[in-house]
């Protein structure tokens, strides 16, 4: 069994693959051309969110049997191409949910309390207690778009802050809303109108791409807070910049961008935005969990055994 790993995963994951007797080549950051040249040698490929696993790659990957996505979102992997070639795609959707939920709340608090901006100013030797008046969460309404694994974890945690939780998710049962004590909104517009804070927790699909955009900002309350720790583009970035500039959005917390890596987004220039470079799953616990889980899944798939997240 020969496994190629193209993005950083936890040592515990690599060790688990080696212990199974597999040959593991770690080539973190390998360039595309080189990847296309060597992929034919491998039975399995393990990636995170940067490596594009597409038709061009499948065409060159004559021995590929398994693609392991060490993480949750599979928008960088073409599933159809894999399926038609009998290549199994596995991911680890539960392994980093708590970390992503905690990061979403971190971004929400950091942005609406100006934590990173105040820290930066103090580091420049300015003690300013006047310029950073924030807003409380208590008594406010948070609109959660997507009440899946992460959205529901965010909901119950924000309820502990005294927030009213409402959500829009047309694909789940009413029981799930009840289970998490979240009020269901049948249409997105109602959620947008009623929310003081909006946090996104859907996958990136044709339907969700740009779902919070100009139209949403037109009907939103003035001074809302927007958090995107899901996927770049679910909040339209140009519309968000405009909405921040015209005061519709008071604060934003952004972990993900359409183009990644990215050091030139206009969002990075705005003082009331807290930006992080896709760190939602970057905790010791999540990465160990993800690494071990993906190793077990890839090995099981290569051995022809049952795999939970295929
Ligand atoms: P999930 O599949 O458990 O939940 C997603 C929910 O979104 C589902 O309940 C689904 O019904 C709902 N949904 C789908 N389309 C929708 C639509 N058009 N409108 C409203 N709701 C819709 O996914 P999850 O594990 O909670 O992950 C959520 C997002 O977080 C994904 O985009 C994932 O890639 C991302 N993520 C990011 C990080 C990070 O590092 N920033 C880490 C983990 C996950
Ligand atoms: C995920 O979908 O799991 C996240 O993007 C985290 C990651 O892979 O870094």
* DSSP bridge pairs for 88: 66
Q: Which residue's alpha carbon is nearest to atom 9 within ligand 2? A: 281
Task: Give the model confidence (pLDDT) of 68-77 as tens digits.
Answer: 999 999 999 9
| Closest ligand by atom to 71 CA | 2
- The closest ligand to the CA of 293 turns out to be 2
Assess whether pLDDT exceeds 90 at residue 309: no
Alpha carbon distance 14, 283 (integer Å): 17
| Atom 7 of ligand 2, residue of closest alpha carbon | 71
At residue 49, does pLDDT exceed 90? yes
Secondary structure class of 175 (helix, strand, coil): helix
Q: Which of 85, 81, 78 shows the shortest CA–CA distance to 52?
A: 78
Nearest CA residue ID for atom 6, ligand 2: 281
Express each pLDDT in 169-205 by its tens digit. Answer: 999 999 999 999 999 999 999 999 999 999 999 999 9
Are the beta carbons of 144 and 167 closer than 8 angstroms? yes
pLDDT value of residue 43: 98
- Which atom of ligand 1 is closest in space to residue 75's alpha carbon? 34
Which of 50, 100, 145 should be mutated for ligand 1, with most atoms under 8 A from CB? 100
pLDDT tens sequence across 29-40: 999 999 999 999
pLDDT of res. 120: 97
* Dist CA 129 CA 151 (whole Å): 34
Q: Write down all domains in the chain, each with its CATH number in brackets.
A: 2-95+284-302 (3.40.50.720), 97-275 (3.40.50.720)
Mean pLDDT of all residues in 25-30: 97
In order, the DSSP letters of 278-297 are S-TT-SHHHHHHHHHHHHHH
Task: Supply the angle between the helices 11-19 and 284-302 in degrees, to the nearest 10.
Answer: 20
Tell me how crowded residue 176 is: count the other CB atoms within 10 A of its CB.
17
CA end-to-end span of the chain: 19
Which pLDDT score, from 0 to 100, does residue 266 have?
98
- Give catalytic residues, as residue numbers: 231, 260, 278
Give the C-alpha separation, 194 to 199, whole Å: 13
Mutation test of ligand 2: which of 75, 89, 94, 96 has the most ligand atoms closer than 8 Å to its C-beta?
Answer: 96
The 10s digit of each residue's pLDDT in 194-253 is: 999 999 999 999 999 999 999 999 999 999 999 999 999 999 999 999 999 999 999 999
pLDDT surpassing 90 at residue 261: yes
**Contact (Cβ atoms closer than 8 angstroms) between residue 129 and residue 185:** no
Give the number of the ligand closest to the Cα of residue 91.
Answer: 2
How many of the other CB atoms lie within 10 Å of CB of 133?
A: 8
> If you measure from the C-alpha of residue 280 to the centroid of ligand 2, how many angstroms do you get, rounded to a whole number?
7
**Residue 6 Cα, ligand 1 centroid: separation in angstroms?**
24
Which residue bears the tokens 């992080």?
276
Q: What is the ipTM of this complex?
A: 0.99
Q: Is 72 in the pocket of ligand 2 (CB under 6 A)?
A: yes
Residue with tokens 């760190």: 279
| Three-state DSSP class for residue 148 | coil
**Alpha helices, DSSP H, located in 129-236:** 149-159, 174-179, 188-194, 214-219
Q: Residue 139 — left, alpha, or beta (φ > 0 → left; ψ -120 to 50 → alpha)?
A: left
Which parts of the chain are beta strand (E)?
2-5, 23-26, 44-47, 66-69, 88-91, 141-145, 164-168, 183-184, 197-200, 224-228, 249-254, 273-275
The atom of ligand 1 lying closest to the CA of 205 is 15
Q: What is the pTM of this model?
A: 0.96
Q: Whose CA is nearest to atom 44 of ligand 1?
A: 72
pLDDT, tens digit, 9 for 90 and up, residues 121-169: 999 999 999 999 999 999 999 999 999 999 999 999 999 999 999 999 9
In ligand 1, which atom is closest to the CA atom of 103? 41
């Amino acid at each position: 069994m020969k496994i190629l790993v193209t993005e950083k995963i936890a040592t515990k994951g690599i060790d688990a693959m080696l212990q199974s007797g597999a040959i593991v080549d770690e080539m973190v950051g390998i360039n595309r051309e080189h990847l296309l040249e060597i992929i034919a040698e491998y039975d399995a490929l393990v990636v995170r969110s940067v490596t594009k696993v597409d038709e061009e790659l499948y065409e060159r990957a004559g021995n590929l049997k398994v693609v392991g996505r060490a993480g949750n979102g599979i928008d960088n992997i073409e599933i159809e191409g894999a399926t038609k070639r009998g290549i199994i795609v596995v991911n680890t959707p539960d392994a980093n949910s708590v970390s992503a939920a905690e990061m979403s709340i971190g971004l929400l608090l950091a942005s609406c309390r100006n934590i990173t901006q105040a820290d930066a100013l103090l580091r420049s030797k300015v003690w300013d207690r006047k310029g950073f008046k924030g807003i409380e969460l208590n008594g406010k309404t948070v609109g959660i778009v997507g009440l899946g694994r992460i959205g529901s974890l965010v909901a119950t945690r924000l309820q502990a802050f005294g927030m009213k939780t409402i959500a829009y998710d047309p694909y789940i049962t009413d029981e799930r809303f009840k289970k998490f004590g979240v009020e269901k909104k049948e249409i997105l517009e109602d959620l947008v109108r009623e929310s003081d804070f909006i946090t996104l927790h859907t996958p990136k699909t044709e339907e969700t791409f740009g779902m919070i955009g100009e139209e949403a900002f037109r009907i939103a309350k003035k001074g809302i807070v927007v958090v995107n720790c899901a996927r770049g583009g679910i909040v339209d970035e140009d519309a968000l910049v405009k909405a921040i500039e015209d005061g519709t959005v008071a604060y934003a917390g952004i972990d993900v961008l359409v183009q990644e890596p990215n050091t030139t987004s206009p969002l990075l220039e705005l003082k009331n935005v807290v930006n992080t470079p896709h760190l939602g799953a970057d905790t010791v616990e999540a990465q160990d969990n993800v690494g071990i889980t993906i190793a077990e899944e890839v090995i099981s798939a290569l051995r022809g055994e049952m795999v939970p997240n295929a």
